Amino acid sequence: MQNQNAKEAAEFLKKLKILPEIFFVLGSGIDISPLVDDMSDAVEISTVEIRGFPPPTVAGHRGRLVFGKYGALKTAVAILFGRKHIYEGDFSAPMFISEMFTHLGAKIGIFTSAVGGIDKSLRPGDIVLLSDILNFQGKYSLYYRHSSIRHKLYKPFHDKLSDAILNSALKSNIYIFTNGTYAAVTGPGYETPAEVEMLRRIGATVVGMSTAPEVYAANRNGIKCAGLSIVTNRAGTSSNHSEVLTAAERASNNLLKIIETFLKNFDCKSLY
C-alpha cells in the first residue's frame, strides 16, 4: 500500500468504531439507500469530511459513506456512494478507495459501475456480473512501477464470491448476465461506433470508465472482489449523462434486492 492519505483517512474512520468486513462502491446514479435503513448502528459521513479523501466532481456521485451492520449475521458493511474517475485528473484517486478500506481491515469489495453495453443482447437496465477486465486506461500500471509484484498475474474477480452473488440473483428472481468482460477506458467521452465494434471483436461485454484501478489495487492488497455492472445505454448509440443516470436508478432496485439477499445469506468469513 502506497497512499499515505488512504492510511490517514482510515485512521480517522476507525474512530467511528465500525470496521467494515465488506464494502460496496456504487457507480454513477446507482443507489441502494433502502439497505441503509435496515442497517443497525448505521453511521453516515460525507466524504468531504474525511481528511485526504479525493472529492468526486461528477453529478450523481454523491460522496457519501455509510457504515453499519446488516442482517442476522450482523455483517459489518460499508457503502460508498460515488467514486472519482481517472478522467477527473487524479490518477491515484480510484485506488485510494481500495487502499483506505484495506487499512480499515475489509476483506471483500463489491464494485458496481454504470456501463455501456457492448454485447448486442444487452439493454439499458440489464445487470452484468463481471469475470474479467480488458484495461485500456494505460497509465494505472505506472502507479505500481516500483512494485515487486508488477508482473504478477491474477484473476481480478473471485469465483466463489461471484457465484454467491449469482445465487443471490437467482434467489431474488432477477436475471443477470454472467461472465462479463469489462473494457476499462479513460473517457470521459463515449466511444465511437468503430471503437465499439473493436471492443466487441476483442471480447468486451461492457465498457466503462472505472473499476479497473480500484479492483487492481484491491487485489494487490488481498481483497476479494466482485464486479456488477448496470447497463445504462447501448455503447455507440447516442446517450448523455442524464440518460445514464435515469437507467442506473431504475436498475438500482434490482441490484438492491440482489445485495440484500446476498448479505442475508452469505457468511463473508467463509472466504477467509
Cell of 253: 432496485
Applying CB under 6 A, the site for ligand HPA has a residue count of 14
Q: Which residues of 47-84 are buried (b: 16+ CB within 10 A; e: fewer)?
A: beebebbbebeeebbebbbbbbbbbeeebbbbbbbbbb
3-state SS class at 105: coil
Nearest distance, CB of residue 134 and ligand HPA, angstroms: 13
The DSSP code for 237 is S
115 interacts with ligand HPA by CB under 6 A: yes
Nearest residue (CB) to ligand HPA, 102 versus 252: 252
| Cβ atoms < 10 Å from Cβ of 114 | 25
Q: Toward ligand HPA, which CB reaches closer, 77 or 122?
A: 122
Strand pairing of 75-81 and 108-117?
A: unpaired
* Contact pick of 80, 207, 225, 268 for ligand HPA (by CB under 6 A): 207
- Which span sits near ligand HPA by CB under 6 A: 46-54, 96-104, 153-161, 202-210? 202-210
Give 256's contacts (C-beta < 8 A, 6+ positions apart): 32, 34, 35
Q: Is 215 in the site for ligand HPA (CB under 6 A)?
A: no
- Minimum CB separation from ligand HPA for residue 194, in Å? 14
In the bound state, the residue with its beta carbon closest to ligand HPA is 116
Which window, 38-46, 136-144, 207-215, 220-228, contacts ligand HPA (CB under 6 A)? 207-215
Select from 220, 12, 15, 211 the least CA-distant residue to 102: 220
Under the criterion CB under 6 A, does residue 208 sit at the interface with ligand HPA? yes
266 DSSP assignment: -
Q: Is there binding between residue 114 and ligand HPA (CB under 6 A)? A: yes
Pick between residue 78 and residue 183 the one whose CB is nearest to ligand HPA: 183
Nearer to ligand HPA, 107 or 241 (CB): 241
Q: What is the DSSP string of 70-89?
A: ETTTTEEEEEEE----GGGT
Where along the sequence are the contacts to ligand HPA (CB under 6 A)? Answer: 114-116, 185, 187, 190-191, 207-209, 232-233, 235, 244
